[in-house]
Amino acid sequence: MEPSLVWQDCLTLIKEKVATQTFQTWFAPLKVANLEDAHLTLQVPSQFYYEWLDSHYRPIIMEAIKKTTGRNLQVQYSVVLGDAPGDETPSRLPTEDEDKNGFSRFSQLNRRYTFENFIEGAGNQFAKAAALSVSGRSPKNLFNPLVIYGGVGLGKTHLLQAIGNYAQAEEAQTHVVYVTSEKFTLDFISAIQRSRTTAFSKYYRNVDMLLVDDVQFFQKKEQTQEQFFHTFNDLYQHGRQIVMTLDRSPSDLSGLQDRLISRFQSGLIVDIHPPDLETRIAILMRKAEDEALEIPYDTTEYIAHCIKSNVRDLEGALIRLLAYSSLRNQDITLEMAQQVVQEILGKNAARTVSVDEVIKKVSAEFNIRENTLVGKGRPQDVALARQTAMYLARELTGASLVSIGLHFAGRDHSTVIHACRTIEKKMEEDPIFKARVDAIYKELANVVY
């Protein structure tokens, strides 16, 4: 019997027994390694896979084998590390070995982070363009240093790593070092303890590109800052690229020497803003595709609605959905997503406002009867209230554009999009109107700021 054919038949049987999701996640990546006498050996991408498979799907696998071969073969697993989903081990690109002086000489680049899989949107476009411009070979040192700042989970580390990966892909010889400022600090302290500061500075001054993540950790660490300042100057003078990230604007940093800040300012400083709704949807769709997750569009939109300020949380939601659907052997549903979002944001934040509540509230605020607000007529003074209601429904409810439209006398989703754009624009231009809409928003969402 040809092992891979046997396994193909098994897979066909298993596919009928488990949810699509489960199949994609746990079975599709398996390969048969061997079929001998009484053993079938499956190749799995990680220890975790093996444990999960064995504890959850053993009976299903055994049954499929029995049906296919007519025998009770024993199943064995062999773990072959790879880049399969679920394998948590990041693939590193070691440039040099662990060094004798005790600090790591890995470039610490993770191949997972590339420009290619960084989704662009209004909030991060500029940062991405700047990052790209310092990673290419040609227009060197245009922006040196480049400082990228922004809130948690918005892709700073991703961009920083992408710069390094790109530079190394272009020119394998490029000596890139990625380091968090925490690690830089620890390495420095350990170098002092071992009287190896010379080796330490030599190491960091010997790179073509230095990527320092989360520079805010240098706050109040005088000696480390001193060391970093010299490293910085040395690299800068030799025309080496330096890129740093920060979790806030450099001007909001306290406890960092002025001369260091003014060095930052001699280059280019760019910020990353939270992604807008369209970008969040695009990110979710891309990640789902990468993980071979099938998520209904409504569910994607719902998650993107609820989780607004942090891409890491968006990813977290997907991972949980994946786990849920596998555990329960169910396809992903909107209800499952609601539960996951609640867990991530906490009960209050995920309080679901209904479209009807929004309509009720807006009609009271604008002093227009509900029927008129949602109706077909178009008196001038109703238009604004109606568009506001559509906008708030989109912001607050997690209902899809189509279903929002249905609440307004069956208008189609493009009308809803148009309404949202109109209101966004008006809010930008008219602070008084913005304050009014924000107030309604807060009351509906019950958010305390």
Q: Which residues bind Mg ion (CB under 5 A)?
A: 156-157
Strands, E, within 141-216: which ranges?
146-150, 176-180, 209-213
Q: At its nearest, how many Å lie between ligand ADP and the CB of residue 292? A: 17
Vertex 162: Cα angle to 159 and 165 (nearest 5)? 160
By Cβ distance, which residue is nearest to ligand ADP? 155
Q: Rule CB under 6 A: is residue 124 a binding residue for ligand ADP?
A: yes
Q: Rule CB under 6 A: is residue 25 a binding residue for ligand ADP?
A: no
- Single out the segment in contact with ligand ADP by CB under 6 A; choices: 153-161, 174-182, 232-240, 407-415: 153-161
Q: At its nearest, how many Å lie between ligand ADP and the CB of residue 235? A: 22
Q: Are 317 and 344 in contact (CB under 8 A)?
A: yes
**DSSP 8-state class, residue 214:** -
Among the listed residues 29, 153, 398, 405, the single contact to ligand ADP using CB under 6 A: 153
Among the listed residues 29, 155, 267, 398, the single contact to ligand ADP using CB under 6 A: 155
Q: At its nearest, how many Å lie between ligand ADP and the CB of residue 120? A: 7
- Closer to Mg ion by CB, 57 or 217: give it: 217
Prior bond of 145 cis (ω within 30°): yes
Q: Rule CB under 6 A: is residue 154 a binding residue for ligand ADP?
A: yes
> 324: which 2 tokens?
């849920």
DSSP string, 102-125: SS------BTT--STTS---TTTH
Burial class (CB within 10 angstroms; exposed 0-12, middle 13-18, buried 19+) of 386? buried
Helix (H, G, I), strand (E, B) or coil at 61: helix
Q: Rule CB under 6 A: is residue 129 a binding residue for ligand ADP?
A: no
- Closer to Mg ion by CB, 205 or 273: give it: 273
Q: Rule CB under 6 A: is residue 163 a binding residue for ligand ADP?
A: no
**DSSP 8-state class, residue 98:** P
Radius of gyration of the chain (CA): 27
Q: At its nearest, how many Å lie between Mg ion and the CB of residue 214? A: 6
- Closer to ligand ADP by CB, 128 or 196: give it: 128
Q: Which does 315 bind (CB under 5 to 8 A by kind): Mg ion, ligand ADP, none?
A: ligand ADP
Q: Rule CB under 6 A: is residue 400 a binding residue for ligand ADP?
A: no
CA gap 442, 449 in Å, rounded: 9
Residues pairing with 31 in the sheet: 43
Q: At its nearest, how many Å lie between Mg ion and the CB of residue 436? A: 37
- Closer to Mg ion by CB, 245 or 388: give it: 245
Q: Rule CB under 6 A: is residue 280 a binding residue for ligand ADP?
A: no
Amino acid occupying residue 262:
S
In order of 52, 134, 236, 282, the CA distances from 210 in angstroms are: 40, 12, 10, 31
Among the listed residues 312, 413, 426, 436, the single contact to ligand ADP using CB under 6 A: 312
**DSSP 8-state class, residue 25:** I
Residues of this chain that bind ligand ADP (CB under 6 A):
113, 117-119, 124, 152-158, 283, 311-312, 315
